[in-house]
Amino acid sequence: MQRRRKARALPSVGLAILLMGFAVAPVIATQSAAYAVARSSGFSGPAPGKVTCSYLAKVTFSSPLTTAGGGTGFAPVKGKLSNCQATSSGLSVSGKINGWFGGSPVTCSAALTGAPAAFSLTWKGSYYGRRGKFSGSSVGGGNAFGSFGGPASFTVGAPYASTVSPGCVSKRGLKKIELSGTVTLGTPVVIIPVTPPPPGSWWTAPSGNLPWQWYLAGALNLGDTTEMGTNDKLPNGSTAPDPVVYDIDAIENPKSTVTQLHLNGAHAICYIEVGTAGTYYTAAEEGIGTSYYDQLSADGDLGATLAGYPQEKFVNINSPSTVSIIEAMIQQQCANKGFDAVETDLDETYNNNEGTTGFGTFTEGQEQNYLVTLGTYMHSLDMGWIAKNLDDTGDGFAATMEPLADGMITEQCNQFGTCGQLSSYLSNNKAVFNAEYNLATSAFCASDNTKDINGALFKVALNGPRSPCR
């Protein structure tokens, strides 16, 4: 099925604090889910990676500290976070800290007591230039929840005796003191690097004139000249060359069709969706016991519905079971049928590029890891990877993935002015296939031909008719 996408208070939780290396027993409160809230056109979703910040906080004691004791009730805390260092290179944040100690964190001798505590933190900043306010993080039991999830630790520096003693001996006692230290929340971002694969025997689509046909309206009819693209005309009215590359649906086309295309001297690309799944096929049509959609559903890997496609839901690209199920589909529907390469549709769902996924907001790094895993798997099955529309994210993701990809299919890169983001593919002898839907061939063919892009005018339904540029 063709998918075209160009239309472009958290309750506190107890914290196990590390005071000069000594763990403090946590005080656990009720936890609820927290999500980052976008501001303006900003980033939204769980913040990526780990962050370490310095803090300076004012502590107010409910009963003043004296040489005889004090500080037996809750001690409210309010302070600022600064000098935050994140493991994600695109993340920049600052924030505030609020919360309480269960008692005084210090004594009048400036010793640390190890009092239980609970804190919430609020953040503001940007992620790869997208402004956003990251809503509260909370921490407890050595773990963080909310915007920054994962391991958590607080360290508190001992106060100087000179700041404590005068207040302790005064008639009113010590009511407030400033504490400083560091806070670390979250899990480091471990990004799988995008590197050229080792030499292999799979097909790589070379740049240059590579006539192609994109047919996703059903099973390809090998005897229909329109579906096969063998009766088309060039812009000058002359007969167009027969396609030497066919991009067709993985499920609806049998192995025999792929075999015949090979006998015709053409290569076959296997169209699949990797960022969403739909109820378009039965298990019987897929030739398996349980449909891929039902497998993903049973594993809890289906999220929100893709806008405009009520049968289709986003998949959780961070889930190992999603990866296993998609890899099984790649093997069963693409490799076992003899396809030369795989086109991955909906392969840029990070930052809500395709809409709200239902899994927070995937980060660019998470998408990169997902595609590196799938692309590497395709290569292990002796198939190339043809990426899809990575130029429409507006952040250079297409160039990031180029070392691993073996070609690119883009939709309307002339209409939307994104063709230039694919220059690294062409300069590295990798084909770029461009489908335009709304422009006349006179408006884009000259440009595509000059750039060595394989452009063609298609019907949105991708049901056979095409007007190739060369």
Torsions phi, psi of 267, nearest 5? Answer: -100, 155
Can you name the residues that pair with 13 across neighbouring β-strands? Answer: 119
**Distance from first CA to last CA of the chain, Å, rounded?**
27
Classify burial at 342, counting beta carbons within 10 Å of its beta carbon; exposed 0-12, middle 13-18, buried 19 or more.
buried
Segment 393-418 shows an average pLDDT of 96
Task: Report the pLDDT value the prediction gives residue 209, as an integer from 0 to 100.
Answer: 96
Is the separation of the CB atoms in 153 and 51 below 8 Å?
A: no
Question: Is 112 a residue whose pLDDT tops 80?
Answer: yes
Question: Is 264 a residue whose pLDDT tops 90?
Answer: yes
Task: Report the pLDDT value the prediction gives residue 133, as an integer from 0 to 100.
Answer: 66
Is the separation of the CB atoms in 343 and 385 below 8 Å?
A: no
Confidence of residue 2 (pLDDT cuts 50, 70, 90): very low
Average pLDDT, the chain: 88
Question: Is 32 a residue whose pLDDT tops 60?
Answer: no
Please name the amino acid found at residue 438.
Answer: N
Region of poorest pLDDT, from 135-149, 202-216, 357-371: 135-149
Task: Report the pLDDT value the prediction gives residue 29, as an integer from 0 to 100.
Answer: 26
Task: Report the pLDDT value the prediction gives residue 113, as an integer from 0 to 100.
Answer: 87
The alpha carbon dihedral of 216, 218, 219, 221 has a sign of negative
Is the separation of the CB atoms in 248 and 216 below 8 Å?
A: yes
> How far are the Cα atoms of 2, 166, 233, 306, 308 from residue 355, in angstroms, in the given order?
17, 59, 38, 7, 11
Confidence of residue 360 (pLDDT cuts 50, 70, 90): confident
DSSP assignment of 289-318, as one string?
A: SS-HHHHHHHTT-EEEEPTT-TTEEEE-TT
Task: Report the pLDDT value the prediction gives residue 48, as an integer from 0 to 100.
Answer: 72
Q: What is the pTM of this model?
A: 0.73
Region of poorest pLDDT, from 172-176, 266-270, 303-307, 360-364: 360-364
Task: Report the pLDDT value the prediction gives residue 187, as an integer from 0 to 100.
Answer: 83
Q: The domain 212-468 belongs to what CATH superfamily?
A: Aldolase class I (3.20.20.70)
Give percent above pLDDT 90 in the chain: 72
User: Tokens representing 323?
Assistant: 């990866």
Task: Report the pLDDT value the prediction gives residue 45, as an integer from 0 to 100.
Answer: 56
Contacts of 68 (CB under 8 A, 6+ apart): none
Segment 106-132 shows an average pLDDT of 83
Task: Report the pLDDT value the prediction gives residue 128, as an integer from 0 to 100.
Answer: 67
Confidence of residue 41 (pLDDT cuts 50, 70, 90): very low
Where does the chain hold its CATH 3.20.20.70 domain(s)?
212-468
Distance of CA 205 to the CA centre of its chain: 26
Segment 106-118 shows an average pLDDT of 87
Contacts of 298 (CB under 8 A, 6+ apart): 290
Task: Report the pLDDT value the prediction gives residue 220, as an integer from 0 to 100.
Answer: 98
Task: Report the pLDDT value the prediction gives residue 344, as an integer from 0 to 100.
Answer: 98
Task: Report the pLDDT value the prediction gives residue 126, as an integer from 0 to 100.
Answer: 81
Note the pLDDT tens digit of each residue in 435-461.
Answer: 999 999 999 999 999 999 999 999 999
Residue 44, number of CB atoms within 10 A of its CB: 21
Task: Report the pLDDT value the prediction gives residue 46, as an integer from 0 to 100.
Answer: 63
3 state DSSP class of 411: strand
Torsions phi, psi of 383, nearest 5? Answer: -125, 150
Torsions phi, psi of 219, nearest 5? Answer: -75, 135
Q: What is the CA radius of gyration of the chain?
A: 29
Note the pLDDT tens digit of each residue in 177-231.
Answer: 999 999 999 888 788 999 999 999 999 999 999 999 999 999 999 999 999 999 9
Is the separation of the CB atoms in 135 and 147 below 8 Å?
A: yes
Region of poorest pLDDT, from 152-166, 274-288, 447-461: 152-166
Segment 352-377 shows an average pLDDT of 92
The conformational region for residue 113 under phi > 0 = left, psi -120 to 50 = alpha, else beta, is: alpha
User: Tokens representing 453?
Assistant: 């892009």
